[in-house]
């Protein structure tokens, strides 16, 4: 039954992303991409909450965490894409339907992997009272959301100030980390995994792949490497940027070197 639920979650995630891909590909737009990412998390959480209809408190609480995370992401990225119109990440693949499709499939699979602990908990058949581990997990999640939200807000305001055109942000949280928003996002999903620890046994330990996956992707694939490469090229001859990069932590907010 659990295997069927995991498979069902994968099919739902891919179904949502493939449906929105058709719109994005037809109109050659990036306005659906990040919206769909956040929406898929919310849809999976709500679907399994109502599918099983156990409505245990920990399930309601977990659904709220996913809903808040997804809603914040949708609102922020929707405002951003409406302003910038196009996401430069897709400039090379937007006009190639097959390459564009591969991205959407990867996005659907990624959401599914990241949601594995949540899917497990939303299909759990027994109530459990809150304990210190669950409270710790919720605290880690809250800290992550706070950091991610503050970092995005600071960068958005910085980028929308004409005085900062062609400059990089090194104020606020960005003074202590070159990518505090990604650090916050990692914390959110590690927090949810920690929240799930009191329930995990046997093969359900495989849900650890969720926070490991998002950490790996942001550190080595689609997050930090792309931005670092872009900034290295853009500010290759800028001594101030080189000093900022040398003296500022890549991910963890730390005091200056």
- pLDDT tens profile 109-162: 999 999 999 999 999 999 999 999 999 999 999 999 999 999 999 999 999 999
Tell me the C-alpha distance between 215 and 219, whole Å.
Answer: 6
Q: Are 62 and 106 in contact (CB under 8 A)?
A: no
- The answer to whether residue 248 scores a pLDDT higher than 90 is yes
* Residues 226-232, mean pLDDT to the nearest whole number: 94
| Residue 2: pLDDT band with limits 50, 70, 90 | low
User: What pLDDT sits at residue 185?
Assistant: 98
- The answer to whether residue 32 scores a pLDDT higher than 90 is no
Mean pLDDT of the chain: 94
User: What pLDDT sits at residue 3?
Assistant: 61
- What residues contact 187, with CB distance under 8 A and at least 6 apart? 140, 141, 143, 144, 147, 148
* pTM beyond cutoff 0.75: yes
User: What pLDDT sits at residue 116?
Assistant: 98
Residue 60 CA, chain-centre distance (Å), reads: 21
Output the CA torsion 32→120→185→50 (10° steps): 50
Q: Are 58 and 128 in contact (CB under 8 A)?
A: yes
Tell me the C-alpha distance between 251 and 14, whole Å.
Answer: 30
- Tell me which residue of 69, 75, 27 sits closest to 188, measured CA to CA: 69
């Amino acid at each position: 039954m659990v295997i069927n639920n995991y498979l069902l979650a994968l099919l739902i995630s891919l179904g949502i992303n493939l449906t929105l891909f058709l719109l994005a590909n037809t109109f050659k737009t990036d306005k659906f991409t990040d919206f769909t990412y956040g929406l898929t998390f919310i849809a999976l959480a709500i679907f399994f909450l109502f599918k099983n209809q156990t409505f245990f408190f920990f399930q309601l609480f977990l659904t709220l965490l996913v809903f808040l995370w997804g809603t914040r992401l949708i609102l922020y990225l929707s405002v951003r894409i409406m302003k910038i119109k196009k996401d430069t990440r897709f400039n090379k693949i937007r006009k190639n339907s097959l390459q564009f499709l591969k991205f959407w499939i990867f996005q659907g699979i990624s959401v599914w992997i990241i949601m594995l602990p949540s899917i497990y908990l939303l299909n759990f058949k027994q109530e459990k009272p809150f304990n210190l581990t669950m409270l710790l997990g919720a605290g880690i999640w809250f800290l992550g959301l706070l950091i991610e939200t503050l970092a995005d807000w600071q960068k958005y305001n910085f980028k929308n100030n004409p005085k900062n055109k062609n400059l990089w942000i090194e104020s606020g949280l960005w003074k202590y980390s070159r990518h505090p928003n990604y650090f916050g996002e990692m914390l959110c999903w590690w927090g949810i995994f920690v929240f799930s620890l009191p329930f995990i046994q046997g093969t359900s330990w495989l849900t650890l792949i969720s926070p490991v996956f998002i950490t790996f992707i942001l550190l080595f694939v689609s997050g930090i490497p792309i931005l670092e490469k872009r900034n290295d090229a853009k500010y290759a001859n800028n001594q101030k940027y080189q000093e900022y990069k040398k003296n500022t932590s890549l991910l963890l907010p730390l005091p200056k070197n």
